[in-house]
Amino acid sequence: MAETTTPNAREPFSGAAVDPDERFEPPSDIILRSSDAIDFHCHKNILAHVSPFFADMFAAVSGNQDIQKDGKAVIPLVEPSSVLYGLLPRVYPAHNARLFSLTNPADLTDICPVHEAANKFQMVRAQALIEDMLLSSPLLDTEPHRFFAIGCIRNIVPLIRKAALCTLRDTVNPIIPFIPEFELITGNRALELSNFYQRCALRAQSVAGNTHSVPHNVLVSAADEATVITSHEASGQPFVWWREEGHAVHCGPIHQMVGGVWTQEVLPPQWYRNHVRQVSTALRFVPNGTTAHMSALDVAAPERAAIATCPACAQYALHDLANFAAQLKRLVEWTNGEIAEGMW
């Protein structure tokens, strides 16, 4: 059946002859027709090379196609042209990914069906390329909820985790912005994100605020719910608020007495307990490493005043807090990552 009316796709899939002086490219020999009737002039060799799906198809049908155009067999597909425009440049070696860097929100519009089509056609490398682009997109920072939904829809677990972690970067807005992909995920998936935030917030709070019963040489085990960062990493030197020597009378670690007997329990000075309570509160709302770091360095005026009245604290506290802040940042990031891995 002769057929010539269907419009051709844009360059480089228009089927127009290529100027051989500009670049070497053999003529196209197969047409993929989209569901909205656009003809993509392609190369059997390239499609067969990247897709067992097409390799099998070309091996099975030899030359006697029902539909022909410009002497090429026409293969009708169920995918619309928007998907083929998104997919084919990613499998053609000469027109590769720099066209699709996923830096503009509009680049995400067809990313789910494009990834789905790559999966259907068994285009393993194109699929991996799309996943890499999603995982390294700068839009993750600005639209993490959308990437979370895309990860759920296409079951890309590393993307689900990374996007979930990125949602912790903002003060959580109870009104999640409108995201087209959210119509395609279940309410359960959306609830998971909310649960994830709650778990990270509670864990970060307890990691930052825990001052319970810590002798100087407690081992820091990040997996432990009761983890407390008590000393400089490199030297093992305890922070000044856990050291006995040199404090003013009203400062220094406080030994607990129960029923007239000294216990093993030691509390750090009041200024430190006040300070980590504030850090803990900040992490309740924005449970990420940056919040941990910034809030641990941000000592309020009353605590600064208390530090200034103690010789030991005045000398060491700010220096020790800087080290504490850096460790807390990493610990919060680590625990958030653990929670994400546990959930997805």
Q: How far is CA 163 from CA 68, 104, 193, 332, in A?
A: 46, 17, 10, 17
Of these, 95, 247, 277, 304, which contacts Zn ion (CB under 5 A)?
247
Instruction: Collect all residues with Cβ–Cβ distance below 8 Å to 23 and sequence separation of at least 6.
Output: 94
214 binds Zn ion (CB under 5 A): no
307's tokens: 């530090």
- CA proximity to 180, closest of 210, 133, 145: 145
Neighbours of 32 (CB within 10 A): 22
Binding part of the chain for Zn ion, among 43-51, 253-261, 284-292, 306-314 by CB under 5 A, reads 306-314
Q: How far is the CB of 174 from Zn ion (least distance, A)?
A: 41
Q: How far is the CB of 250 from Zn ion (least distance, A)?
A: 8
123 binds Zn ion (CB under 5 A): no
120 binds Zn ion (CB under 5 A): no
Closer residue to Zn ion in complex, CB, 49/247? 247
306 binds Zn ion (CB under 5 A): no
Distance CA 149, CA 166 (A): 13
Closer residue to Zn ion in complex, CB, 147/271? 271
Of these, 118, 156, 251, 325, which contacts Zn ion (CB under 5 A)?
251
Closer residue to Zn ion in complex, CB, 102/312? 312
Closer residue to Zn ion in complex, CB, 230/288? 230
Closer residue to Zn ion in complex, CB, 31/299? 299
Distance CA 22, CA 20 (A): 5
Q: Decide if 114 contacts 86 (C-beta within 8 A).
A: yes
130 binds Zn ion (CB under 5 A): no
Q: Decide if 13 contacts 41 (C-beta within 8 A).
A: yes
Closer residue to Zn ion in complex, CB, 86/252? 252
Of these, 74, 310, 328, 332, which contacts Zn ion (CB under 5 A)?
310
284 binds Zn ion (CB under 5 A): no
Neighbours of 175 (CB within 10 A): 5
What are the backbone dihedrals phi and psi of residue 225, each rounded to the nearest 5 degrees, phi first?
-55, -35
Q: Decide if 171 contacts 285 (C-beta within 8 A).
A: yes
Residues near Zn ion (CB under 5 A) are: 247, 251, 310, 312-313
